[in-house]
Chain A
Amino acid sequence: MFSVCEISELIKNKKISVKEITTHYLNKIEENKELNSFITICHEKALEKAQKLDNQKEKTGALFGIPYACKDNICTKGVRTTCASNMLKDFVPFYNAHVIDKLSQSVLLGKTNMDEFGMGSFCKNSCFGETKNPHNKSKTSGGSSGGSAAAVTSGQAAFALGSDTGGSVRLPAALCGCVGFKPSYGAISRYGLISFASSLDCIGILSNNVSDAEKVFLNVLGKDAKDMTSKNVSPAKTLKKLNIGIPKEYLENCEKAIEEQLFIVAHKLEKAGHNIETCSLKTTEYIVPSYRIISSAEASSNLARFDGIRFGLCKEGRTWEETLIKTRSQGFGTEVKSRMLLGNFVLKAENYNEYYEKAVLARNKIRIDFKQAFEKYDFLLTPTTHRTASDIEKYPESFSEMCLGGANLAYLPAISLNAGFYNQMPFGIQLIGAENADFDLLYAGKQLEELCNEL
């Protein structure tokens, strides 16, 4: 398993060419076909790009020549972008997402599998089949960025891009055993990310260590004129002694082994001189309902543009309405339809006050709750999930969303990293930071990672 740093060194010291490292990864992709991590593999384009980079005179930048994978809901010019949906099965964008432009010195290996339009926690809602967990092929990789997590963990890419709307980067990262970083909302431009829930969507990074995630983040972050919600995050503060809170609500119903490990890590943090204690986030019970309502409402609006006229699937009827109905009935999977119906329902005039408005009010309360916590603590430490991939699917999806949705609702950065194995399956612990404190979070993540590696 190569880290981004290692590859970078090898390339800079001319020990390996970009073409060679790219070929290495393409072979790895071939070897791991069974996992079904990729929807589209850019065999030729990747090698062409690698050659071009090798021929370049200037070879600067931390990500120069690094081969990466990209979730299939991020627009890549000239490369099919499907959102794992029949609706976009043959859609080839003629424009790049901002984040892809920022990675112009790296090599795109291919587009990874996901839950359709980002809706799902187990990577099972894809029209291209499910992605398997590299640690146990009969288990889920988690979702919705399942393909990206599986690819990174099994060495098919040096790093991968994903998207996180309610935990979709952190959840699969935890179940597959890699690092999953969700920055503050707006820290990475959403231009070119096919929207699921606009006020919750974040582009996230999956990698094998926190340092790699930081390197990628540095390369793609920043205010983008094409995205009004994008912004610059704060520079790093010098942190010596960390104040960490463990919200007790996040421990309810957690697998014993995961909870125990969390406290072992907490103990180590204490020994290393940091301050750590349990705390309470009373609004935790509103996270899942608020998330469900807001994300469904926004999704029902964002996905309305798929009508068969300009792009994507078109199933013609005798009238425009018929075309619309046929196209959308056949183009969307069941989960997507279900969420759009819910979204539509909560936005209807007679339901608005009862559902959507309440969800927005709840969101605000959740945001304030976190803000108050961050007046006392630098970070919050929680399990990423309550179960491993072994049995997580036995529980309803909301069970998985509980620890994750808060960071999306409150626009906060959060990172999941591997904390150990239970019955041979990995699990993760999560650090949540204050809004815009992304670099502080990454710093703390590195400390935590060191401690976890000692276990």
Chain B
Amino acid sequence: MNYKASVGLEVHVELLTQTKIFCSCKNEFGGKENTRCCPVCMGFPGTLPVLNEKAVELCVRAGLALNCKINEAFCMARKNYFYPDLPKAYQISQDKKPVCENGFLDTKYGRVGILNIHIEEDAAKLVHKDGKTLVDYNRSGVPLIEIVTAPDIHSKEQVNEFLQNLKKLLKSISVSDCNMQEGSLRCDVNISMQKENDNTLGERCEYKNINTFKGAVNAVEFEIKRQTEILNFGGKVERETRKWDDIKKESTILRKKENIADYCYFEEPDIPLIKISPETLIKIKETMPENSHQKKQRYMKEFLLSDYDAELLSQNYSELFEEAVKADANAKETANIILGNISKLINEGKKLTFGGDKLAELLLLQDKKIINKTIAKQVLEKMFESGESPEKIVSENNLAQITDTEKIKEIVLKTLSENQKAVLEYKQGKKQTFSFLLGKALEKSEKRANVQLLQEILKSMLDNKKAV
């Protein structure tokens, strides 16, 4: 019997707002415990929540980028349960009328439906120390969006790609920094299995709070195997909440079906119905940054870049690329140098100390043949070191290309006289020695000779060489 897996994700993403969702405490990561909290986010008696408009805006942005319908009006709801990290013993979230509904995100394995995106507050953080558990309220009240997918994911590979695509998208529109190490992206995973041609979903198991992509992928792999085994033995999969251990690569039961929580949801009375006017929606659309997907499409269309180049540039180097092109650099050349030498240097740990305008300058010097490709590479390295303009670097270091034919002839002559053996070998028919001689000549010119001219002059001198 063949079984097909259906996976749905609930991704919690911390928003890039200045302040928390219901109070004016700063929304930051780290720092000394309990230094960014107040009576509101600590749930003191008599305090009331005041909804952060920026959080709503960022939720709408996410909804727009994920092709959702943005509801004209939405309301908040209380999700009630007791836990030491939940100061009010309820989380203000959304239930019946979320901000965004019915969107999708494409992966190469297929389209994944987004059921809804809703805003909610984060809980405090529990810290275990010396056998005690302490509560740090810095995180309490940080604004989150929860992105709930349909069970449209069918493999661990698709889980990975979905999460990667989601992260790229949300980063590109400045909704979140999606930094999993800092906890700004976590997900719950729901997995069920059904017979190959069956459309009814099987019983699902839930994994909560997985905080690495690898963990999500591994959990899915494990669970698919676990459920398939049960079904193959003729057993029944039970509804459970499980905990994933990414070190042991196994999961354990947290809660069985009978103990699945009833959160007693009801509409939050302290926050009235929030309306999003058409004008507000337009403004959000107009002021939101171009998302990475849109950027990539634009690069492909406008600059005729390949899918591969456009993908890489839009993800990591869009600012540098666009600045250079704006300063009149050739798009293809810019793409090449960024994805070539520049990314190589960055991967080696060098820091980008200059902007697109200086990059454009460098490419122009190359175009005008004032420097050749080899020199350009040197200049680039110096640019990384000092952040100086390429023109300055070239003139200060006397790196300008040699294009004077007389000078080049001089260099070639010198090279030939110093490498008589090679010349002889060439004359005897070993055509490979040409590259050797070219290399030597180039070295003699301190790599500054225009390569094309050098080649021409060297060839003509070798072929027409009369005894010197």
Listed in ascending order, the chain A residues whose CB lies under 8 Å from chain B are 74-75, 81, 83, 88, 91, 93-95, 97, 190-195, 197-199, 225-229, 297-298, 300-301, 304-307, 309-312, 320, 324, 344, 347-349, 356
Contacts and interface: CB of A to CB of B under 8 A. Distances in A.
25 contacts: A75-B45, A81-B45, A93-B46, A94-B39, A95-B47, A190-B48, A192-B47, A195-B45, A228-B51, A298-B269, A300-B80, A300-B264, A304-B80, A304-B90, A305-B87, A305-B88, A305-B89, A306-B45, A307-B89, A309-B84, A309-B135, A347-B80, A347-B266, A349-B262, A349-B264
In this complex, the interface size class of chain B, counting residues with CB under 8 Å from chain A, is 20 to 34
A74 B47 CA distance: 11
Given A305-B43, A309-B84, A228 B266 contact: no
B133 interface: yes
A130 B271 CA distance: 35
Contact of B78 (A193, A301, A309, A312): A301
B260 to A, nearest CB: 10
A interface: dominant SS? loop
A320 B87 contact: no
Contacts of B264: 300-301, 344, 347-349
A166 B45 CA distance: 20
B270 A311 contact: no
A229 B82 CA distance: 26
Nearest to B42: A310
A320 B84 contact: yes
Interface string B302-335: 0000000000000000000000000000000000
A301 B81 CA distance: 9
A225 B50 contact: yes
Contacts of B45: 75, 81, 83, 88, 91, 93, 194-195, 305-306, 311-312
Contact of A226 (B50, B90, B265, B271): B50
Nearest to A348: B262
A160 B270 CA distance: 25
Contacts, number: 97
A356 B87 CA distance: 25
B270 to A, nearest CB: 5
A304 B89 contact: yes
A349 to B, nearest CB: 5
Interface of B: 39, 42-51, 78, 80, 82, 84, 87-90, 133, 135, 262, 264-266, 269-272
Tell me which of A191, A300, A301 has the highest count of chain B C-beta atoms within 10 A of its own C-beta.
Answer: A301
Contact of B87 (A298, A310, A348): A310
A198 B135 CA distance: 27
Contacts of B133: 320
A99 B84 CA distance: 31
Nearest to B39: A95
B89 A93 contact: no
Nearest to B51: A228
Contacts of B272: 228-229
The 4 closest A-B pairs by CB, nearest first: A304-B89, A347-B264, A199-B269, A198-B269
Nearest to B263: A349
Contacts of B80: 300-301, 304, 347
Tell me which of B42, B44, B46, B78 has the highest count of chain A C-beta atoms within 10 A of its own C-beta.
Answer: B46
A379 B304 CA distance: 73
A184 B231 CA distance: 61
Contacts of A83: 45
Given A307-B82, A356-B266, A191 B47 contact: yes
A192 B272 CA distance: 18
A337 B309 CA distance: 65
A304 B88 contact: yes
Contacts of A192: 46-47
A324 B269 CA distance: 25
Contacts of A312: 45
A123 to B, nearest CB: 21
Nearest to B22: A228
Contacts of B48: 190-191, 226-229
A304 B82 contact: yes
Contact of B44 (A193, A310, A344): A310
Given A75-B45, A95-B44, A320-B84, A301 B50 contact: no
Given A229-B271, A307-B89, A320-B133, 4 more contacts: A229-B272, A301-B78, A306-B45, A348-B262
A312 B42 CA distance: 13
Contact of B90 (A74, A81, A301, A324): A301
B52 to A, nearest CB: 11
A97 B46 CA distance: 8
A90 B302 CA distance: 69
A198 B45 CA distance: 12
B270 A229 contact: yes
A325 B87 CA distance: 16
A332 to B, nearest CB: 14
Nearest to A344: B264
A49 to B, nearest CB: 21
Contacts of A348: 262, 264
A75 to B, nearest CB: 4
A307 B89 CA distance: 9
A194 B46 contact: yes
Tell me which of A81, A324, A347 has the highest count of chain B C-beta atoms within 10 A of its own C-beta.
Answer: A347
Nearest to B49: A228
B39 A297 contact: no
A198 B270 contact: yes
Contacts of B42: 310
Contacts of A193: 46
Contacts of A75: 45-46
B36 to A, nearest CB: 16
Contacts of B265: 347
B107 to A, nearest CB: 34
Contacts of A300: 80, 264
B345 to A, nearest CB: 51
